[in-house]
Amino acid sequence: MSLPEMIIVSSSNITSIGYDEQNQQVYVRFQNGSLYVYKGVPAHEYLNLLEAPSQGSYLNRSYKNVYPYERIE
């Protein structure tokens, strides 16, 4: 499995975020090392996550019960 380019973010619980535009998948690497993929995420919603003042809060609020996700690492 090859990951998209991961952008390092300044967050207390997320280390990096990446986006596979072709498949509309957001990859999120957490501080504990786990990696999750969120599926069916439109590009504008990925940008909203990247630009959020708190990526962790935004992820909880706008992704958790909206997009299907799974832990892949």
Query: In this predicted structure, what is the pLDDT of residue 2?
Result: 86
Query: In this predicted structure, what is the pLDDT of residue 9?
Result: 95
Query: In this predicted structure, what is the pLDDT of residue 54?
Result: 94
In a domain, 34, yes or no: yes
Q: What are φ and ψ of residue 17, in 5° steps? A: -135, 140
In a domain, 62, yes or no: yes
Query: In this predicted structure, what is the pLDDT of residue 39?
Result: 98
The DSSP call for residue 53 is S
Global pTM value = 0.94
In a domain, 1, yes or no: no
The boundaries of the domain holding residue 41 are 6-71
Average pLDDT score, the chain: 96
In a domain, 39, yes or no: yes
In a domain, 20, yes or no: yes
Domain total of the chain: 1
Distance between CA atoms of 24 and 31, rounded to whole angstroms? 23
